[in-house]
Amino acid sequence: MDKREIIIAGASSVFEASGFRGVGVDAVLAPSGASTRTLYKHFGSRDGLVRAVLEKRHRHFMARLEGKNPADPFADLFDQLQLWLDEHGARGCMLLRARSEYAGASAEIVALVRTQKAEFEREIARRVAQNLGREDPALAVQIWLLFEGATAAASVSANAVVGEAKRAASALVALAKERSQ
């Protein structure tokens, strides 16, 4: 792993545990052993590092969704969320936490999160269209809300809420299929 990736990995764990803006640069760099000079060399700024962490996190998450269970793409979506929470912990969505912390401080970070969330919404819409044989924007939003809600709820409850969201999504999909016939 090169130095840039080591810094991103270390910063990611610090941001996950401690948030973004309330933690100092020294604490962010401590896991990687990098200096502030190295931070600026690779990322240009602290916000550049935050963007790199968010980009890597999003790419990693989206890669997890690629074709694991095409027979049931919605169950797969929630199964992948369950696995993600089991591996990374249930602290809510890192992207949304970053968006919240940077709302008044960095339009770039807010825009990045908006773009990433829009990509995820399009993935859900693609799954809906593929599964139903037609677009259903309302169903896509409902499943997205269940997913985001389960992610948030797991941070204050048990990860079992993901299973409940999965069942709710399955019921919504079944209803949409019935209406199509």
Sequence spans of domains, the chain: 3-180
Q: Whole-number mean pLDDT of the chain?
A: 93
- The yes-or-no verdict on residue 70 having pLDDT over 80 is no
Determine whether 181 is exposed, middle or buried from the number of CB atoms within 10 Å of its CB (0-12, 13-18, 19+). Answer: exposed
C-beta of residue 128 within 8 angstroms of C-beta of residue 68: no
Classify domain 3-180 at the CATH superfamily level.
Answer: Tetracycline Repressor, domain 2 (1.10.357.10)
- The yes-or-no verdict on residue 81 having pLDDT over 70 is yes
Say what the pTM is: 0.90
Q: Give the alpha-carbon dihedral of 149, 151, 155, 159, to 10 degrees.
A: 110
Phi, psi at 61, each rounded to 5°: -65, -45
Cβ atoms within 10 A of the Cβ of 27, count? 12
- The yes-or-no verdict on residue 69 having pLDDT over 90 is no
- The yes-or-no verdict on residue 67 having pLDDT over 70 is no
Please choose, from the candidates 77, 90, 89, the residue with its C-alpha nearest in 3D space to the C-alpha of residue 163. Answer: 77
- The yes-or-no verdict on residue 108 having pLDDT over 80 is yes
DSSP state of 20: S
Alpha helices in the chain (DSSP H): 3-18, 25-29, 36-43, 46-64, 73-88, 94-101, 107-132, 137-154, 161-180
Q: Record the tokens describing residue 24, joined without a space.
A: 């100092």
Please choose, from the candidates 4, 178, 166, 161, the residue with its C-alpha nearest in 3D space to the C-alpha of residue 73. Answer: 166
